Amino acid sequence: MCLFGCIGSCLGKACTACCCKKGGGKSTSFHARIGSSIVLILITVLALLAETYGYKWFKNWPYKTDVGSCSGSLELCSARLLTVKIGIVGFTFFTVLLLFSLLNCCVKYRGLDQIQNGYWCWKIMALILLVIAAYFIPPKAAVVFFYIFLVVGAFFIVFQSFLIITSLLSWNAKFVDHDWEVGLWILFGVACAVAVVLIVFTWILFHGCGLAIALNIVTLVVGIGIVVFSFFSHYASVFTSASVACYCLFLNIASLASSPNANCCSAGLGTGSRTALNWVVKIVSFVITFLLMIWMSFSRNQKITNGEEEEIPRCFCPCSDSGDIDEEDDASDSEPSQFSYWKLNVLFLSACANIVCVATGWSLADGVGDAGIGTTALWVKTASNWLSYLLYIWVLINPYVGPIICPDRDWGED
């Protein structure tokens, strides 16, 4: 109930400055973050609907058989191109907000602050109009945008892996600072239980081909290795290691569920069951993305009291020397923290590109009728799995290896 009350309170506060400046009071970056999150959710829902029902509803009208350079079936290409068009809307929306935020860094006009923070009813109405207009984007142009999304989505995968590790380390540090070691051990036990369930689920479903066995063994061995290492390392946390292992076990399931080789699925799941499994994987992936976006948007030292945030005249500009995003000023407790609008908008437009890539299976024509099944999706998810492990392994060994490589740098031995 507390969680739903918190969500309701956040939405209520966001609506107080929804449509206009005077009617709802002074908008702050709090409203910008809530509004951006709502837009991202809308884009995700529309993308999933387009991928699932795009061809059934619209039959690729008015382009008929024209699907650009997409080499798949008409139904498959039509649905995925419509999904790309939805992504173009979100990408364009946050790009415009990004331009406003960069302009606000150089122009001393407070009206730009209000445009960034408020008017969200009007922004969502504009978003709906963009969705309607995007339907008529030519297929060839949509294909060009898809390849742009692939590049941006790959960047987001790297950033998401880094963000997951950073958030887990941050939560671990907060537990330690408050002397909640018992809570950490409880969470470690929960993470271990989840890991066992994922391991059993993986081996039951996927051990019918050499690739599945190899990926299972590598993921399991590395996961056990980082947890065991954490027990003997002064710098590591068993909770963080177990949580990273759980995330990588999930990515392993996601990658094997995407394999076009039906023999890899030892449980003999039919096409319908595999499609359902991939839908579950998509939903879980989107939930993880949304939670990370919320954490990234709200976890910093933003001073909000009773829904009112201390106002910053202008955002942090990438070309200025005014500091970084939401950094605390230890010298003065009265100095409000700065909020970086341009970083927020870059984060959300990258997330839009990633959502399109996940919804389409990272390919316009690859697959066997389902966007989650295909060679491209298989190896992208596998690469994400290995990348997450490599990033965390570096976190584990850098207190030992770092001083040898760069002895003049502080490697956080405290």
Q: How far apart are CA 75 and CA 67, in angstroms?
A: 10
Give the pLDDT confidence score for residue 371 in this predicted structure. Answer: 54
Q: Indicate the pLDDT class of residue 267, thresholds 50, 70 and 90.
A: low
Peptide bond into 318 cis (omega under 30): no
Q: What is the dihedral of CA 397, 399, 403, 408, to 10 degrees?
A: 140
Give the pLDDT confidence score for residue 235 in this predicted structure. Answer: 84
Q: Indicate the pLDDT class of residue 313, thresholds 50, 70 and 90.
A: very low
Q: Each residue of 120-136: pLDDT tens digit?
A: 999 999 999 999 999 99
Give the pLDDT confidence score for residue 208 in this predicted structure. Answer: 78
Domain map (residue ranges) of the chain: 27-324+337-400
Arithmetic mean of pLDDT, 7-33: 56
More confident residue, 408 or 336: 408
More confident residue, 3 or 346: 346
Q: How far apart are CA 152 and CA 73, in angstroms?
A: 26
Arithmetic mean of pLDDT, 285-291: 91
Q: Does residue 327 surpass a pLDDT of 90?
A: no
User: Sign of the C-alpha dihedral, residues 4, 350, 159, 264?
Assistant: positive
Residue 412 — φ and ψ, nearest 5°? 65, 45
Give the pLDDT confidence score for residue 144 in this predicted structure. Answer: 93
Q: How far apart are CA 33 and CA 11, in angstroms?
A: 11
Contact predicate 139/67, CB 8 Å: yes
Q: Each residue of 45-69: pLDDT tens digit?
A: 999 999 888 888 888 888 888 888 7
